[in-house]
Copies of this chain bind each other. A is one copy, B any other.
Amino acid sequence: MTSLKNRQIQLAYRPEGKPQSSDFELVETEVPELKDGEILIQTLYLSVDPGMRNMMKDKKSYTSPFGLHEVLTGRSVGKVIESKNKNFAEGDAVFERLGWQDYSVSNGEETKKIDLEIAPASAYLGVLGVPGLVAYFGFTEIALPEKGETVVVSGASGAVGMNAGQIAKIHGCRVVGIAGSDEKNRFLTEELGFDAAINYKTTKDMKAALEKACPDGIDIYFDNVGGEITDAALQLINYHARVVISGQTSQYNDEKPDEGPRFLNQLVTKSAMIKGFVVYDYEDKNDEAIEQMAKWIQEGKLKYKENIVEGLENAPQAFIDLFDSKSFGKQVVKVSE
């Protein structure tokens, strides 16, 4: 197997502002020989996530930054094609944080087998992967939705947002999504059962649009975006509102923080909470979450949409496109069959 050629996507430059193709480079390497205890994984799908933008900065966050001229890493699913580890056999489908490359060698410690009977491999990067878990934990651990409450989701047509809105519907909430095109919004209301959707690109007065869509105010605001959409939503929160911050895609490319109206007094008068989180906070509950979501999928209550980009070489562009709101549903890159 050592004669296999391996292609890697490496970080060539730390992006300034919006990432560009030239920040990435495709490099050919060799696949090293397996040692005892190791497995060789062929990448099937890799996930591109807005949160990776944070890790491209030379700044320690909850994870270490990506190294320059090193392979990028991200959540991936693959197939074991050679095993010197007794826990894995050739042909096993697995999930791991792998390199953006054709082949990865792993010691199996962080490798998790996945069940392709429940859902296809790519779903483990979306609805049953981090975006699904973020939405799930955001509601079950933080927002604690009650029937009849009004929920607003920003970035509603993204991988997290779609799941968030549907999980809110499953809990009996009224759900309003905010997304970037009429096509996306039709999908949210017609396919996913959102009660209303607002196109932020064609809406001049977001506060007025939200007021109209949320006549009883906002009990839960699930925020993936930040910036002016969030400014508007925060003005309409109800007493004891919960604001869940899963991401701030509008802010990731800024070198210096944007400025906006201060709103903390609103949290006092409304006795409200804002909670940010990372999915690792609830890692011990991953299995029960995946089981619950798989059940919802089988019952037809939780739908998902993927946008599959073909070819490892197109992974950088697939990542860049996340910031143009071109993506619609979970963006994954198909590396091999």
The residue of chain B having its C-beta at the shortest distance from the C-beta of A242 within the complex is B275
The residue of chain B having its C-beta at the shortest distance from the C-beta of A281 within the complex is B271
Q: Is A159 an interface residue (CB 8 A)?
A: no
Q: Are B230 and A248 in contact (CB under 8 A)?
A: no
Q: Is A148 an interface residue (CB 8 A)?
A: no
Q: Are B257 and A259 in contact (CB under 8 A)?
A: no
Q: Are B257 and A267 in contact (CB under 8 A)?
A: no
Q: How many residues of A contact B (CB 8 A)?
A: 37
Residues on B with beta carbons closer than 8 Å to the beta carbon of A120:
none
Give the contacting residue for A258; candidates B251, B252, B261; CB below 8 A: B261
Contact status of A264 and B226, CB under 8 A, knowing A273-B274, A274-B274, A276-B272: yes
Min CB gap A207→B, angstroms = 13
Q: Are B262 and A227 in contact (CB under 8 A)?
A: yes
Q: Is A265 an interface residue (CB 8 A)?
A: yes
A-B contact pairs, 19 of them (CB 8 A): A62-B269, A223-B264, A227-B262, A245-B265, A246-B268, A247-B268, A248-B265, A257-B261, A258-B261, A259-B260, A260-B260, A260-B262, A264-B274, A268-B277, A269-B278, A271-B281, A272-B275, A272-B276, A274-B275
